[in-house]
A and B are shown apart, each in its own frame.
Chain A
Amino acid sequence: MILKGQKVSAGKAEGEALVSTEGISFYGGVEPEIGKIVEQGHPLEGKSVSGKILVFPEGKGSTVGSYTLYQMKKFGTAPAAIVNKQAETIVAVGAIISEIPAVHKIDIERIENGTMLRVDGDKGEVEIK
């Protein structure tokens, strides 16, 4: 099944879906050295986002979060791709400067945690395999 949305950041990636029902703040909410979500009480607290297709409604928090994503890419702890319901500046800019494929306007309720996904940033599509 293919879910259609819009491009945020170019590139293609495949991987396992890690789905969050809540927004993610990369600055302060994620430990960039290890790629783990550390925000207390977050549904994904303690989970590693590295190499996953990270699916969440939208970004939140400080604009410094763009630089945190960039840092994760350098550490090799970044998600393989990002799928948003609605993109906002922090995650969009972070994905672009880090060259992480990203799409938005995706009906993310249809994606189950752990399923294999293929993200096409240029076409703005997510394929559920």
Chain B
Amino acid sequence: MKLSKEEQEMIEGKQGNAVKKSMEILTALGEIFGAEELVDVSSVQIAGVSYHNLGEAGLEFLEEMAKDGKTKVLTTLNPAGMDLENWKALGISPEFAKQQELVIEAFAKMGVITTCTCTPYFIGNTPHYGEHIAWAESSAVCYANSVLGLKTNREGGPSALASALTGKTPKFGLHLEENRQAKVLVELNAELKSVPDFGALGWAVGNKIGNKIPLITGVKKASIEELKSLCASIATYGGTAMFHMEGITPSKTTVPEEKLEIEEADLEEARKTLNDEIEIDLIAIGCPHCSLGEIQKIASLLEGKKVKKEMWICLARPIKKIADQMGYSKTIEGSGAKFACDTCMAVAPLKGRFKGLATDSAKACFYGRGKNSFKTKFMPLEELVKEATE
């Protein structure tokens, strides 16, 4: 791989040990995947934040990097294993909380903005069309490539951190235009009416074509919340890092020959698969984290009502602050529902605390089942609120 003079100095350790280590990671990945050079990135999103996933070793690595590592570009964080302020009320142990705080401190020391959200694009980490970035978090990667027209591979925790500390990423995969073209034409012959319908579409397409880039036709309109839901689902069930949607997403693509038709029956199969027979004891919304529009809607649905079951609203703290300002938080918390900022039902250590999760997220069903051994119910927001209050 060709390195510039500055990059050569970085790998020789002239900018410190964290930069040296970072360049070793990036150049090794570049060599493995056949990159010819590094490319500058303008934004980074780091995953591997929950102490539940990192463990003691992950924390030690971050503390080592924090000795002399500083971010060179705007860098935000994925959700942590707990609400950083309100963890006690959500049942997190003080031992876990202490280690989680050390993880966040290490990131903060490096200049990372410790936002802890899977939707960095809602809180100001929003580069413009065509920019090269290095993001981890599969749903955000898919949203960035597809909806925003940004260019990123699916990064892991350490490689994203390496990009943050150097401002570089190896140029291969989705950084190259030729790899961003659709491979399968997906014709949708059904109407999508809700956020979970888009999740069901992601399940169906992901299961059928894996991580090939689809060009989806037949979707008449889509809100940002619906696209967020599709991104999370298609990335979870197919490993997909990008899709095109006719009339909706901005990037150009050739029309592929391979064709797949999705019918109402395929969506119904998704709904059937994601719905278990179970008594619901946790209702969770916000996977990926809620948008401002969703919070506004939840507040209006909960106005004057009381929830009778545990209900979590997962969101980024900046969105919560706007909700505070607008009085939505008062309405939502007044109903007995709880906010879970900085975290979510997929990364918090919840195993054994609940049995039946109801959610509008196909992705949350997958992680609820796999990591927390929940059974799941999959339904739209309005029905979730009914389930909670009636």
Residues of A participating in the B interface, judged by any CB pair closer than 8 Å: 6-10, 32, 62-64, 66-68, 70-71, 74, 87-90, 92-93, 96-97, 104
Return the chain B residue nearest A64 by Cβ: B53
- Complex: A119 Cα to B316 Cα, angstroms: 47
In contact, A64 and B25 (Cβ under 8 angstroms): no
- Complex: A45 Cα to B133 Cα, angstroms: 40
Q: A6-B31, A87-B32, A89-B156 are in contact. Are A67 and B25 (CB under 8 A)?
A: no
Please pick, from B24, B29, B61, B156, the residue contacting A70 in the complex, using a CB distance under 8 A.
B61
Extra inter-chain contacts (7) besides given A67-B48, A89-B156, A96-B25, CB under 8 Å: A66-B156, A67-B54, A70-B61, A71-B56, A88-B32, A93-B28, A97-B61
Tier of interface size on chain B: 20 to 34
Within 8 A of A (CB), among B1-48: 21, 24-25, 28-29, 31-32, 47-48
Q: Which 3 A-B pairs have the closest CB atoms?
A: A71-B57, A63-B156, A67-B58
- Complex: A68 Cα to B156 Cα, angstroms: 14
Contacts of A70 in B (CB 8 A): 57-58, 60-61
Contacts of A9 in B (CB 8 A): 24, 28
Least Cβ–Cβ distance between A32 and chain B, in angstroms: 7
Listed residue (B48, B56, B57) with the most chain A CB atoms within 10 angstroms of its CB: B57
Task: Give the tally of cross-chain contacts (CB within 8 A).
Answer: 72
Please pick, from A32, A67, A89, A97, the residue contacting B29 in the complex, using a CB distance under 8 A.
A89
Q: B334 in the interface, Cβ–Cβ < 8 Å?
A: no
In contact, A96 and B21 (Cβ under 8 angstroms): yes
Residues of B participating in the A interface, judged by any CB pair closer than 8 Å: 21, 24-25, 28-29, 31-32, 47-48, 53-58, 60-61, 136, 156-159
28 contacts between A and B (CB under 8 A): A6-B32, A7-B28, A7-B31, A8-B28, A8-B32, A9-B28, A32-B57, A63-B47, A63-B156, A63-B157, A64-B48, A64-B55, A64-B58, A66-B157, A67-B54, A67-B57, A67-B158, A68-B55, A70-B57, A71-B55, A71-B58, A74-B60, A89-B29, A89-B156, A89-B159, A93-B159, A96-B21, A97-B21
Contacts of A71 in B (CB 8 A): 55-58, 60
Contacts of B158 in A (CB 8 A): 63, 66-67, 93, 97
Contacts of B159 in A (CB 8 A): 89, 93
Least Cβ–Cβ distance between A57 and chain B, in angstroms: 14
Contacts of B31 in A (CB 8 A): 6-7
Contacts of A92 in B (CB 8 A): 28-29, 32
In contact, A96 and B24 (Cβ under 8 angstroms): yes
Least Cβ–Cβ distance between B100 and chain A, in angstroms: 15
- Complex: A24 Cα to B61 Cα, angstroms: 22
- Complex: A64 Cα to B157 Cα, angstroms: 8
In contact, A68 and B32 (Cβ under 8 angstroms): no
Return the chain B residue nearest A72 by Cβ: B57
Contacts of B54 in A (CB 8 A): 64, 67
Contacts of B29 in A (CB 8 A): 89, 92-93
Contacts of A7 in B (CB 8 A): 28, 31
Return the chain A residue nearest B54 by Cβ: A67
In contact, B48 and A96 (Cβ under 8 angstroms): no
Contacts of B24 in A (CB 8 A): 9-10, 96
- Complex: A44 Cα to B242 Cα, angstroms: 36
